[in-house]
Amino acid sequence: MDVTEHLSQIITPTIEGMGYELVRVHLTGGARPILQVMAERQDGGGMTVDDCADISRAVAAVLDVEDPLPTAYTLEVSSPGIDQPLTRLKDFARNVGMAARVETGELVEGRKRFVGRIQGVEGDIVLLTLEPDAGKPAKSKAPKTKQRKRKSAESSLAEPMPARAAAAESVTEKPEEAEAPVARIPFAAISRAKLLLTPELLKRAAEARAGAAPGTEGGEMEVEDRPRRSRRDAPDDADGRDA
């Protein structure tokens, strides 16, 4: 078990008991590591600064008791935000149709990086329609229409009947587009995945903020940075002197 899994096991009961759900735990290295805790409300409501502050205090308290980190660290608590990471199977299931980028830790169908639209979930398999341009704004294209070419009345009359019939009209048909392939990605193989910022996602976030789509994820990321010390950095007595 790596350190982030251990931290998740410590933090999860506390967060769930408060009515939230743990989305992700991420620990960055350095002289003062940064522990990032991402959470959301179990009732689907939007996260606020106060929510993040409450979680921060509760998580700090439980980590002070468990003391899983050997050095001082900075604790950050945030909400998923608009282009949220996809860390659970249900994240994929509730974002069907949205554009996403998925990376795997091992080769899946001969590759490790996928860009496309989430088609759904089958058991523990994520279905992704591969569309390399899924995260880019759509470009308007002029439709291809049938074009009729007509010769002038004088030249038409001058041609024999069979020639006139053959040259009466020339039709340009729109070629059929090949169906985009669908990748079947085992959830266990996914190392990183997130939604891409698209017009559809921005619209959904705006509707969530306006209350038009209750329970829809979205909104600005709320972050509280609170440097703190682990128990190992605390002095042995009130004056900071060893007993």
Q: Poorest-confidence range of 98-107, 185-194, 230-239?
A: 230-239
Taking only the tens place, the pLDDT of each residue in 216-243 is 333 333 334 444 444 444 444 444 444 3
When pLDDT is averaged across residues 72-93 and rounded to a whole number, the result is: 89
Q: Under a CB-based contact definition with an 8 Å cutoff, are residues 79 and 88 in contact?
A: no
Q: pLDDT-based confidence at 1, cuts 50/70/90?
A: low
Taking only the tens place, the pLDDT of each residue in 103-153 is 999 999 999 999 999 999 999 999 999 987 776 655 545 445 444 444 444
For residue 102, which of 82, 65, 145, 131 has the smallest C-alpha distance?
A: 131
- The CA-based angle 185-7-221, given to 5 degrees, is 70
Domains assigned to the chain: 3-83+211-232 (3.30.300.70), 89-135+181-201 (2.30.30.180)
Q: What is the pLDDT of residue 139?
A: 56
Determine phi and psi for 153, rounding to 5 degrees: -60, -35
Does residue 173 or residue 82 have the better pLDDT?
82
Distance between CA atoms of 82 and 197, rounded to whole angstroms? 8
Strand runs labelled E in the chain: 20-28, 34-41, 73-78, 99-108, 111-122, 125-130, 182-186, 190-195, 223-228
Q: Under a CB-based contact definition with an 8 Å cutoff, are residues 78 and 52 in contact?
A: yes
- How far is residue 113 from each of residues 81, 105, 108, 181, measured CA to CA in Å? 23, 9, 9, 14
Q: What is the pLDDT of residue 174?
A: 57
User: How confident is the prediction for the chain on average, in pLDDT?
Assistant: 76
